[in-house]
Amino acid sequence: MPIHNADIARIFEEIADLLEIQGANPFRIRAYRNAARTVGEFGRDVGALLAAGEDLTRLPGIGDDLAGKIREIVETGKCALLDRLRKELPSAITELLHIPGLGPKRVRALWHDLGVQTIEQLYRAARDGRIRSLAGFGEKTELKILQSVEAHLGTTRRFKLATAAQYADSLVAYLRGVSGVRQVEVAGSFRRMRETVGDLDILVAAQAKSPVMERFASYDEVKEVLAGGPTRASVILRSGLQVDLRVVDEASYGSALVYFTGSKAHNIAIRRIAQERGLKINEYGVFRGERRVAGETEASVYRAVGLPLIPPELREDRGEIDAAQAGRLPKLVELSDLRGDLHAHTKATDGHATIREMAHAAQSLGLEYLAITEHSRRLTVAHGLDPQRLLKQCDEIDRLNGALKGITILKGIEVDILDDGTLDLPDSVLAELDIVVGAVHSKFDLPRAKQTERILRAMDNRYFTILAHPTGRMIESREPYDADMLRIIRHARQRGCFLELNAHPERLDLLDTWCLTAREEGVLIAINSDAHGTQDFQNLRFGVGQARRGWLEAKNVLNARPLKELRKLLPKHRP
């Protein structure tokens, strides 16, 4: 039974949550959280490492005990410690942690003081005004909890794109190995690279006698078969992710791929154009009367209605059809267009590898340059660098650049933007760097005007290069801070600095809509990994997907430029 990194990470996170609800040793709790992060963000399959006989204790923060538990999970799909903790606590209590604003400490208080164990009990306690009296809560917190519970009860579970990709990639590889299968593609919001997906829609073109439906239903990760038939089936995986499979004729594969990729609004617009031409489009093809005139490929479907092929990431009915009709579709950026990465961390702060190891990993993916941008001193939790440690690292980078071949390391910092908009390190130190990445890591709740002015003032620093993760959001766990993004984008244009599209799967920040605005305003975007380990550069895939949703071309991307051209745009090298 396949066990994915996300499965292991989820088990470790639940162990940490249950331990914290119990009031266990904070160091033990932190060890499991760190292990969950390490495994969840690791770019290679941990089960494959075990099968190859590799030592898991070489992974950051993974000692003998955690390595043993990982092996136990991979081999059995279970963890004895988690099973024991679940028996010691109410069965549904961890569901409370899915409510924004409720961490394990607050859940523990709700359980001990009010007997709250389920979402429904939480709703009643908030509705009845019983939560506000608890220490550390209050009336405002109670109202937020009530609103969050109402929103939670009205929505279905969604999976972050990178998490869904682990299950999608494995399942596609499995289906491609079934006899008689010709083509396999994941459609839906996953193919459009939405930041979260509700389910997976998989299309298969197969020969008539292919056993693909039977093999799909018997896939090791299937927990429940919801529906089955000769051409359609739906299952729930053990992770809770629903997967719908459709088998179509090769003559209809392209039209089915258009239909099931969506979006619904895009498809309606395409059908309207077809009707004006006397055509009918559905999942089986493009028809004139009873005669099918297109449908084998997506390009043939669009060609039948007088349009060029529109990339899946643009299919949101946000102007792509008008652009296609006018011959103005962008040539979207590709992963292969990236020449470097301008945001990465090492062991010097909260990363897991040396500068040399990070450089070799970036080079192995075809990158030509890498900026090392540790946290600055204000972020003590990440062991941020003070001026002396940063200048010492600069000397180390100079030595490495003299020894490395084929990749250049740029000297940088991810410097905290302080409450008043000043930067966490003096200009005399920033002047020594190639890249200054400014970041908001605190005071997310400042009023809109103050938050905006804080960021604008930081960008006014002559050495400021890139605004990191510009809205501060964490997908499904932290809302963007309130700031005037249009004003920030226009200020970046005036100041000659840039915005980041942070490719970390928890962030994908900038939002696609702001990417489009930046493109229209002429502000370059840096697609960065925010790598903390050698495997994290793989996340650039998701950053590029978000950039494509934002209509970005290679010419709109800062780090799609060769190093010589990039240097001319950096503050240190400007005339």
Apex CA 101: angle with CA 473 and CA 107, to 5°?
145
The position carrying tokens 């840096």 is 526
pLDDT band at 571 (very low <50, low <70, confident <90, very high): confident
Separation CA 334–CA 573 (nearest Å): 28
pLDDT band at 155 (very low <50, low <70, confident <90, very high): low
Separation CA 533–CA 530 (nearest Å): 9
Tell me the β-bridge partners of 437.
414, 466
Provide the pLDDT for residue 91.
63
Separation CA 30–CA 86 (nearest Å): 19
Which stretches does DSSP call E strand in 229-296? 232-237, 242-248, 280-282, 285-288, 291-294
Provide the pLDDT for residue 202.
97
End-to-end CA, the chain: 60
Q: What is the pLDDT of residues 42-79, one digit of tens each?
A: 878 888 888 888 898 888 889 999 999 999 999 888 89
User: Taking residues 15-32, what's their average pLDDT?
Assistant: 90
pLDDT band at 530 (very low <50, low <70, confident <90, very high): very high
Provide the residue type at 375 as one letter: H
Residues of the chain by 3-state class (helix, strand, coil), percent to 5: 50, 15, 35
List, in sequence order, the alpha helices (H) in 59-156: 64-76, 80-88, 104-114, 119-127, 139-153
Separation CA 90–CA 213 (nearest Å): 39
Question: Measuring CA to CA, which residue among 299, 293, 300, 294 is closest to residue 312?
Answer: 299
Q: What is the pLDDT of residues 336-367, one digit of tens each?
A: 999 999 999 999 999 989 999 999 999 999 99
Question: Measuring CA to CA, which residue among 551, 431, 561, 569 is closest to residue 498?
Answer: 569
Q: Is residue 123 within 8 Å of residue 153, measured between CB atoms?
A: yes
The position carrying tokens 């209590």 is 93
Question: Measuring CA to CA, which residue among 496, 519, 481, 503 is closest to residue 575?
Answer: 496
Q: What is the pLDDT of residues 429-470, one digit of tens each?
A: 999 999 999 999 999 999 999 999 999 999 999 999 999 999
Provide the pLDDT for residue 394.
97
Other C-beta atoms closer than 10 Å to the C-beta of 554 total: 17
C-alpha dihedral over 541, 543, 547, 550, to 10 degrees? 120
Residue 364, preceding peptide bond in cis (omega within 30° of 0): no
What's the token pair of residue 168?
A: 């999608």
List, in sequence order, the alpha helices (H) in 161-211: 161-176, 188-191
Other C-beta atoms closer than 10 Å to the C-beta of 24 total: 16
Separation CA 96–CA 119 (nearest Å): 6
Q: Which domains does the chain have, with CATH numbers?
A: 5-153 (1.10.150.110), 159-248 (3.30.460.10), 253-325 (3.30.210.10), 335-573 (3.20.20.140)
Residue 91, preceding peptide bond in cis (omega within 30° of 0): no
Provide the pLDDT for residue 574.
56
Separation CA 407–CA 573 (nearest Å): 19
Separation CA 488–CA 469 (nearest Å): 13
Q: Is residue 353 within 8 Å of residue 361, measured between CB atoms?
A: yes
Q: Which residues contact 326 (CB under 8 A, 6 or more apart)?
A: none
Provide the pLDDT for residue 117.
81
Other C-beta atoms closer than 10 Å to the C-beta of 30 total: 14
